[in-house]
């Protein structure tokens, strides 16, 4: 079985609905984290990480919109609003995004820029990661890559 990531909130390749758009920096969304589910992870998976990354952001490293680590291996989904309503598993740790806060930060590209891509990824990891909540997305990326068994992604877009 292939490792796959899906969402009942978002359609791969399509535009992100307002419900999941950031509320700030001129964007007027609800900033709700979307529902995500995955299946087919390697049997040796000890934990999962979920990330949302914008490679088109006008920075030297893209833009981290969400990073959650230490999701237990028996969990295979996050409900809509898991970040904002705090229904994440108690073991899960949300790290600091490029919005300089923890938790989900929806799409909000600069006005007039071409639509940006938002890559939602679930990472199957060989262990839980030793991270503190004040860790940022750039730092966590290296820890995730060093402990990755497999990953599954889909991409959506948004422009304004």
Whether 95 and 102 have beta carbons less than 8 Å apart is answered as yes
pLDDT tops 90 at residue 139: no
Mean pLDDT of 118-136: 92
- The DSSP secondary-structure symbol of 96 reads B
pLDDT of residue 121: 98
Mean pLDDT (whole number) for 70-79: 98
Task: State the Cα–Cα distance between residues 69 and 56, nearest whole angstrom.
Answer: 23
pLDDT band at 138 (very low <50, low <70, confident <90, very high): confident
Which whole number is the average pLDDT over 64-69? Answer: 96
For 90-107, the pLDDT digits (tens) are 999 999 999 999 999 999
Residue ranges of domains in the chain, CATH in brackets: 4-158 (3.90.280.10)
Is residue 85 predicted with pLDDT exceeding 80? Answer: no
Please name the residues in contact with 28: beta carbons below 8 A apart, sequence gap of 6 or more. 18, 21
Q: How confident is the model at residue 86 (pLDDT cuts 50, 70, 90)?
A: confident
Region 3-10: mean pLDDT is 98
């Amino acid at each position: 079985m292939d490792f796959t990531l899906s969402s009942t909130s978002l359609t791969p390749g399509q535009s992100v609905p307002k419900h999941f758009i950031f509320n700030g920096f001129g964007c007027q969304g609800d900033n709700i984290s979307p529902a995500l589910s995955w299946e087919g992870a390697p049997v040796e998976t000890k934990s999962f990480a979920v990330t949302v990354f914008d490679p088109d952001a006008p920075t030297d490293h893209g833009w981290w919109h969400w990073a959650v680590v230490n999701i237990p291996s028996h969990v295979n989904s996050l409900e809509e609003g898991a970040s904002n309503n705090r229904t994440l598993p108690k073991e899960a740790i949300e790290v600091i995004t490029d919005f300089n806060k923890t938790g989900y930060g929806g799409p909000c590209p600069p006005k007039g820029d071409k639509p940006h891509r938002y890559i939602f990824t679930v990472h199957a990891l060989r262990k839980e990661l030793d991270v503190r909540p004040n860790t940022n997305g750039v730092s966590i990326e290296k820890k995730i890559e060093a402990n990755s068994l497999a990953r599954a992604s889909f991409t959506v877009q948004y422009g304004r």
